[in-house]
A and B are shown apart, each in its own frame.
Chain A
């Protein structure tokens, strides 16, 4: 599904190197957690996967279903099946959430050479998924993310993920800013999407999200490298001992 090979990347503006040789293979159906202290490059990795222009890949490659995606525009990656749930979802004033959902779904369908969704079919899909995520009709009519609470923003992200049906879901600190009830709703939404064909990368600081979304593999990222890989018990270990050990090792 996803193969990251010796990935080096820096900030395009000032040349600061953030990723220093990442190797990561995610097989279909697997959920990988990436943990690590602030500034270790977790969010950068998610942005580079999605194709944000602010970063420059200097070495290495990212293969998605066997093909390099480095030259692909963000929207091409999206239509190919890469989805990023943002840590800080962006506000789009004046654009109803419903309108945004329809535009995004149809844009991806068009890129893949599929028919646009009819309005009744679209409404049916939205109603199904929105109900599961406790997203109300009222919220769908409001402009996307404008005035949304932290929990509403994250639920809206997962709703988009559920409707766009990506094959690779990247969740960037989806647990930040959520109380425990909201966390459960979001985690349930993610778990429902687990399937043998779909893989996820869950980026987080904390073990608690991983109680709800149980990963197959846990990686520790520090100073732009993966310094430790293990099973789900690794997350518990980190929760107990902190990152100090790994930060030291990478330095």
Chain B
């Protein structure tokens, strides 16, 4: 039947055709020479006009990193990475410290427009109700190019800027909190990040303040052979609340690119941080060529009592994802949440999950993970729930559901549970299912095409997690999931 051939062709052409953010912006950049050594780190630090202690911090990390080896325990495979074949610093030439949007290179603004990210404050003001506004920090390759709504946030006392700027303007805050959740020595990629991180976002919400709008960072890797090493630090002081969203895209390239970020969240007494990610890095073509290696360390510290940190992630991109947004439940009565949708298609490999470390009394955590595998992809959930000796009455509920589409993909669930306290109650539920032929036929009988049927069934499968996303992004996430799975019906 001709329809079968068409389907095969569509499956072959997935990713390549469908990654609509695969364009490249031709813009002059200022790059450090390829490779990694102490001089490169000095170069980065000097470019950023950093204080001396920061340079020492980086050099310490670098020396430590030299003694470390890459982790191999994840269920992912890739050729060895040549860390000397990467540019560690690339900045759009004209973007050096723009004071306002008018000074930002129009090419850059256009790039973000293509990505559907509004950077012009006026337009946002004209079109959207004030309560739905989103402040954006745009990071292009190694530097933050612009942050919107800064003035307005300042009035509320919220600091939202690039981390480079924070180091200059608010060194006491950066120094107090940087590296306190993910220490310099944490793991191979986090240590590398500590040595070479170039930019990222910084948020500080002062005591008792509820951040008046959603904060958001969009990361874009543009240059060839460039790694992106961003560092994000978010602090919610006592009783503060902030909701933060990050999005990421990259051009389509034949070679792999490294993205090794570190995100640290700190919630003090009664504070709440909600961190959402829509990750759509270039996933590589249908044969597995190209794509981003996404090796990321994200961790939140519920440092104060009654604090809460919630991670929500929608992962559709990257050739390889290695990522475990975690919560340290240190404060008594603190709560951690992890809601995840991980979609893999083509030859993508995902090894992702979370760690909930219960240290304080009456701490609770909830994990809802939905993995969807299609094509020849492999999708692993790996999670740790632990209760330490003093964590009396720790509670966890974990639900891991996997959905398989087609015959050639894999779903794996690797939960670890460690309890050193007899009063802890941990629950774990897991299911694996396939979209059945009967479900497909039923939907098609009602007039849905095969792809519409898959999209509908998958959206039903992930509904619990989609509901956790800020309203503005829920629709976007649903669409993204549908696009990622196009061509998966054989």
List chain A positions with a Cβ less than 8 A from chain B.
50-54, 71, 73-75, 78-79, 83-84, 86, 89-95, 99-100, 103-105, 107-108, 111, 143, 160, 164
Asked if residues A75 and B438 are in contact (CB atoms below 8 Å), the reply is: no
Pick from B1, B447, B463: contact of A94, CB below 8 A.
B463
Q: How far is the CB of A43 from chain B (nearest CB, A)?
A: 13
Pick from B437, B449, B460, B464: contact of A107, CB below 8 A.
B449
Pick from A75, A93, A94, A105: contact of B449, CB below 8 A.
A75
Asked if residues A78 and B447 are in contact (CB atoms below 8 Å), the reply is: yes
Q: How far is the CB of A185 from chain B (nearest CB, A)?
A: 21
Residues of A contacting B57 in the complex (Cβ-Cβ under 8 angstroms): none
B interface, by DSSP: helix, strand, loop or mixed?
Answer: helix
B441: CB under 8 A from chain A?
yes
Which residue of chain A lies nearest to B3 when distances are taken between CB atoms in the complex?
Answer: A73
Asked if residues B445 and A78 are in contact (CB atoms below 8 Å), the reply is: yes
Q: How far is the CB of B458 from chain A (nearest CB, A)?
A: 9
CA distance A143 to B460 in the complex (A): 8
Asked if residues A90 and B444 are in contact (CB atoms below 8 Å), the reply is: no
Tell me the chain B residues, 236-281 only, with Cβ under 8 Å from chain A.
none
Which residue of chain A lies nearest to B439 when distances are taken between CB atoms in the complex?
Answer: A90
Given the contacts A78-B445, A164-B447, A92 and B460 also touching, CB distance less than 8 Å: yes
**Besides the contacts A73-B3, A95-B460, what 11 more A-B pairs have beta carbons closer than 8 Å?**
A51-B445, A73-B449, A75-B450, A78-B444, A86-B445, A89-B442, A92-B456, A93-B461, A94-B461, A94-B464, A104-B447
Given the contacts A53-B441, A89-B442, A75 and B448 also touching, CB distance less than 8 Å: yes
**Would you list 20 pairs from A and B whose C-beta atoms are within 8 A, ordered by A residue?**
A50-B445, A53-B437, A74-B444, A75-B450, A91-B439, A92-B443, A93-B460, A94-B459, A94-B461, A94-B462, A94-B463, A99-B456, A104-B446, A104-B447, A105-B447, A107-B446, A107-B448, A108-B446, A143-B460, A160-B446
Q: How far is the CB of A243 from chain B (nearest CB, A)?
A: 28
CA distance A100 to B442 in the complex (A): 11
Asked if residues B460 and A74 are in contact (CB atoms below 8 Å), the reply is: no
Residues of A contacting B464 in the complex (Cβ-Cβ under 8 angstroms): 94
B50: CB under 8 A from chain A?
no
Shortest beta-carbon contacts, A-B, top 9: A94-B460, A95-B460, A108-B447, A104-B446, A74-B444, A90-B442, A78-B447, A94-B463, A107-B447
Asked if residues A103 and B442 are in contact (CB atoms below 8 Å), the reply is: no
Tell me the chain B residues, 451-490 only, with Cβ under 8 Å from chain A.
452, 456-457, 459-464
CA distance A74 to B446 in the complex (A): 8
Asked if residues B457 and A52 are in contact (CB atoms below 8 Å), the reply is: no
Residues of A contacting B445 in the complex (Cβ-Cβ under 8 angstroms): 50-51, 74-75, 78, 83-84, 86
Q: How far is the CB of A11 from chain B (nearest CB, A)?
A: 14
Residues of A contacting B459 in the complex (Cβ-Cβ under 8 angstroms): 94-95
CA distance A195 to B452 in the complex (A): 31
Residues of A contacting B443 in the complex (Cβ-Cβ under 8 angstroms): 92, 104
